[in-house]
Homo-oligomer: A and B are copies of this chain.
Amino acid sequence: MSGAAPFAYAGLDRVFHERARLGIVTSLAGHADGLGFSELKTLCGLTDGNLARHLQVLEEAGFVTQAKDQDGRRAITRCRLTAMGRTRFADYLAALEAVLQQARAHEAAADNAASKTRPA
Protein backbone atom coordinates (compact mmCIF):
# COMPACT_ATOMS: atom_id res chain seq x y z
CA MET A 1 0.00 0.00 0.00
CA SER A 2 3.06 2.26 0.17
CA GLY A 3 6.24 2.72 -1.88
CA ALA A 4 6.59 4.07 -5.38
CA ALA A 5 3.10 3.11 -6.56
CA PRO A 6 0.76 3.42 -3.55
CA PHE A 7 -2.30 2.69 -5.71
CA ALA A 8 -0.99 -0.39 -7.52
CA TYR A 9 -2.83 -2.70 -5.07
CA ALA A 10 -0.59 -5.70 -5.67
CA GLY A 11 -2.11 -7.30 -2.55
CA LEU A 12 -5.46 -7.70 -4.31
CA ASP A 13 -4.88 -11.19 -5.71
CA ARG A 14 -6.75 -11.32 -9.03
CA VAL A 15 -7.77 -14.93 -8.39
CA PHE A 16 -9.96 -13.75 -5.48
CA HIS A 17 -10.72 -10.24 -6.72
CA GLU A 18 -12.75 -11.25 -9.79
CA ARG A 19 -16.37 -10.64 -8.82
CA ALA A 20 -17.81 -14.11 -9.46
CA ARG A 21 -14.88 -15.82 -7.73
CA LEU A 22 -15.23 -13.47 -4.75
CA GLY A 23 -18.80 -14.73 -4.37
CA ILE A 24 -17.76 -18.37 -4.74
CA VAL A 25 -14.94 -18.13 -2.19
CA THR A 26 -17.04 -16.17 0.32
CA SER A 27 -19.75 -18.85 0.05
CA LEU A 28 -17.21 -21.63 0.60
CA ALA A 29 -15.50 -19.75 3.46
CA GLY A 30 -18.66 -20.15 5.54
CA HIS A 31 -18.97 -23.90 4.88
CA ALA A 32 -16.15 -25.97 6.32
CA ASP A 33 -17.81 -29.12 4.91
CA GLY A 34 -17.97 -27.63 1.45
CA LEU A 35 -20.89 -26.99 -0.87
CA GLY A 36 -22.37 -28.95 -3.73
CA PHE A 37 -21.96 -27.59 -7.26
CA SER A 38 -25.70 -26.89 -7.58
CA GLU A 39 -25.97 -25.13 -4.22
CA LEU A 40 -22.99 -22.97 -5.12
CA LYS A 41 -24.49 -22.17 -8.53
CA THR A 42 -27.71 -20.94 -6.90
CA LEU A 43 -25.95 -18.96 -4.16
CA CYS A 44 -23.75 -17.16 -6.68
CA GLY A 45 -26.27 -16.76 -9.51
CA LEU A 46 -23.94 -18.35 -12.05
CA THR A 47 -24.49 -20.65 -15.01
CA ASP A 48 -23.00 -24.16 -15.00
CA GLY A 49 -20.37 -23.09 -17.51
CA ASN A 50 -19.34 -19.97 -15.62
CA LEU A 51 -19.16 -21.72 -12.27
CA ALA A 52 -17.10 -24.58 -13.75
CA ARG A 53 -14.68 -22.12 -15.35
CA HIS A 54 -14.17 -20.10 -12.16
CA LEU A 55 -13.80 -23.24 -10.01
CA GLN A 56 -11.08 -24.41 -12.37
CA VAL A 57 -9.15 -21.15 -11.87
CA LEU A 58 -9.51 -21.53 -8.09
CA GLU A 59 -8.48 -25.20 -8.21
CA GLU A 60 -5.42 -24.45 -10.36
CA ALA A 61 -4.35 -21.83 -7.79
CA GLY A 62 -4.67 -24.48 -5.07
CA PHE A 63 -7.42 -22.57 -3.25
CA VAL A 64 -10.33 -24.97 -3.85
CA THR A 65 -10.78 -28.72 -4.28
CA GLN A 66 -13.56 -30.46 -6.18
CA ALA A 67 -14.41 -34.02 -5.18
CA LYS A 68 -17.10 -36.44 -6.32
CA ASP A 69 -19.12 -37.49 -3.27
CA GLN A 70 -21.75 -40.20 -3.29
CA ASP A 71 -25.17 -38.89 -2.23
CA GLY A 72 -27.34 -42.02 -2.23
CA ARG A 73 -27.29 -43.12 -5.87
CA ARG A 74 -26.08 -39.80 -7.28
CA ALA A 75 -22.50 -38.61 -7.47
CA ILE A 76 -22.36 -34.92 -6.57
CA THR A 77 -19.42 -32.59 -6.94
CA ARG A 78 -18.53 -31.07 -3.60
CA CYS A 79 -16.35 -27.96 -3.52
CA ARG A 80 -14.22 -27.00 -0.54
CA LEU A 81 -11.80 -24.24 0.31
CA THR A 82 -8.30 -25.62 1.03
CA ALA A 83 -6.31 -24.57 4.12
CA MET A 84 -4.08 -22.51 1.83
CA GLY A 85 -7.14 -21.00 0.16
CA ARG A 86 -8.49 -19.96 3.55
CA THR A 87 -5.20 -18.37 4.60
CA ARG A 88 -4.70 -16.55 1.33
CA PHE A 89 -8.32 -15.36 1.32
CA ALA A 90 -7.78 -13.86 4.78
CA ASP A 91 -4.75 -12.00 3.34
CA TYR A 92 -6.87 -10.82 0.43
CA LEU A 93 -9.59 -9.53 2.78
CA ALA A 94 -6.99 -7.63 4.81
CA ALA A 95 -5.69 -6.02 1.58
CA LEU A 96 -9.25 -5.18 0.55
CA GLU A 97 -9.94 -3.59 3.91
CA ALA A 98 -6.82 -1.42 3.52
CA VAL A 99 -7.95 -0.32 0.04
CA LEU A 100 -11.38 0.56 1.39
CA GLN A 101 -9.87 2.66 4.18
CA GLN A 102 -7.61 4.44 1.71
CA ALA A 103 -10.56 5.17 -0.57
CA ARG A 104 -12.67 6.47 2.34
CA ALA A 105 -9.81 8.73 3.46
CA HIS A 106 -9.51 10.11 -0.09
CA GLU A 107 -13.25 10.70 -0.29
CA ALA A 108 -13.16 12.59 3.01
CA ALA A 109 -10.14 14.67 1.92
CA ALA A 110 -11.90 15.70 -1.30
CA ASP A 111 -15.08 16.59 0.62
CA ASN A 112 -13.05 18.78 2.99
CA ALA A 113 -11.31 20.51 0.09
CA ALA A 114 -14.68 21.12 -1.59
CA SER A 115 -16.24 22.60 1.57
CA LYS A 116 -13.26 24.96 2.01
CA THR A 117 -13.60 26.42 -1.48
CA ARG A 118 -17.39 26.70 -1.15
CA PRO A 119 -18.59 30.25 -0.34
CA ALA A 120 -19.80 30.59 3.28
Q: Which residues of A contact B (CB under 8 A)?
A: 4-10, 12, 14, 17, 19, 22-24, 26-27, 29-32, 42-46, 86, 89-90, 93, 96-97, 99-100, 102-107, 109-110, 113-114
Contact = CB atoms under 8 A, between A and B. Distances in A.
B7 A12 contact: no
Contacts of A22: 9, 12, 99
Instruction: Determine how many copies of this chain the complex contains.
Output: 2
A30 B109 contact: yes
Contacts of A90: 107
Most buried by B among A17, A26, A42: A26
Given A5-B43, A19-B17, A93 B97 contact: no
Contact of A106 (B26, B96, B100, B110): B26
B5 A113 contact: no
A14 B14 CA distance: 13
Contacts of A31: 110
